[in-house]
């Protein structure tokens, strides 16, 4: 396993981040434990979750499964970088959501309890909150810092302007500010290149891409294992991008790699990416991508990939003069 700096912080994280969204909803606890054990054995030290994850099993379930696994061996915690998120509704209570100072404090305490830890390494704002002042958000985060409950703060699904606003406010208060942005970025969805990646590089944030396989499109999935509406959406996307995907499959075949592995490796070749999330539903799926950090793509290959999936350019440079 290879390791990188987490944004401009001094923290070093594995290039593969274990995403746990399937734990509890699609992957039962026993299999989740097997995935966690194999990931750690392979050198993955970065685990990402969120307070709302759990699906039909209920919000908080995923954090609880991770907490149960950590409780099996108390030595595990200190070797891991644990990231979770706050913002999404946790109940029908109107104040049990968003980024108010009250909700941030209560949600953090609840996550700590479910995870069974005394601090969270990376506390991420799951979405932008358009109603809460950024001053209130930083006040709440500073209080958590002072209480020793969190170490770093990150954003998720933030536009470039919100990253800039948050960090300018932190800089004015001589605070570290955001060190990561977890955003949608893959070969099919490259709009992060317009504003988000430039903002991350300017302010020293490490980008952590989610949905690196475009919901399975880049892995050759058809959606047959999901509901009818999702399967129909996947089939429609496959038809729409059939020519692109055929060319990508041919390129990957020439490289003697799966499309999943090349899509993940491509992300690790993009400036500003700190780690890419993998969300295996089984140990077998995890095993199939553990070698991704070893894949080196040549300049020529990266150029071929750009021809298949054209880049977006950068804004405002894309239209500034």
Residues ≥6 apart with Cβ < 8 Å to 255 = 262, 301
Quote the CA–CA distance of 62 and 66 in Å, as a whole number.
Answer: 6
Is the preceding omega at residue 316 within 30 degrees of 0, hence cis?
Answer: yes
3 state SS of 13: strand
CB contact at 8 A, 38 and 1: no
Separation between Cα atoms, residue 38 and residue 256, nearest integer Å: 24
Q: Which of 238, 184, 180, 235 is nearest to 205 (CA)?
A: 180
Q: Is 152 a catalytic residue?
A: no
Could you write out the DSSP letters of every residue in 110-170? HHHHHHT-S-EEEEEESS--SSS-HHHHHHHHHHHHHTTSEEEEEEES--HHHHHHHHHHH
What is the set of active-site residues? 53
């Amino acid at each position: 396993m290879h390791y990188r700096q987490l944004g401009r912080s001094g923290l070093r994280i594995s290039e593969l981040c274990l995403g746990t969204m399937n734990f509890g909803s699609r992957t039962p606890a026993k299999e989740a434990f097997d995935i966690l054990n194999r990931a750690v054995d392979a050198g993955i030290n970065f685990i990402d979750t969120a307070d709302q994850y759990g699906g039909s099993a209920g919000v908080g379930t995923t954090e609880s499964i991770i907490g149960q696994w950590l409780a099996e061996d108390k030595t595990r915690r200190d070797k891991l970088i644990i990231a979770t998120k706050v913002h999404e509704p946790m109940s029908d209570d109107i104040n049990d959501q968003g980024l108010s100072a009250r909700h941030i404090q209560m949600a953090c305490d609840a996550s700590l309890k479910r995870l069974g830890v005394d601090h969270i390494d990376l506390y991420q704002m799951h979405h932008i909150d358009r109603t809460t002042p950024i001053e209130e958000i930083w006040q709440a985060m500073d209080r958590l810092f002072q209480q020793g409950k969190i170490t770093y703060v990150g954003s998720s699904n933030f536009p470039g302007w919100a990253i800039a606003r948050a960090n300018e406010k932190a800089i004015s208060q001589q605070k570290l500010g955001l060190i990561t942005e977890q955003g949608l970025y893959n070969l099919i969805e490259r709009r992060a290149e317009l504003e988000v990646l430039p903002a991350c590089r300017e302010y020293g944030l490490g980008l952590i891409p989610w949905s690196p396989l475009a919901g399975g499109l880049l892995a050759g999935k058809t959606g047959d294992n999901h509901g009818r509406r999702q399967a129909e959406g996947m089939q429609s996307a496959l038809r729409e991008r059939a020519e692109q995907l055929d060319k990508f499959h041919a390129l990957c075949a020439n490289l003697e790699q799966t499309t999943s592995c090349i899509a993940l490796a491509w992300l690790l070749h993009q400036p500003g990416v700190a780690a890419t999330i993998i969300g295996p539903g089984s140990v077998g799926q995890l095993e199939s991508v553990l070698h991704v950090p070893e894949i080196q793509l040549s300049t020529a290959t990266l150029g071929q990939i750009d021809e298949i999936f054209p880049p977006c350019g950068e804004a405002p440079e894309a239209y500034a003069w």
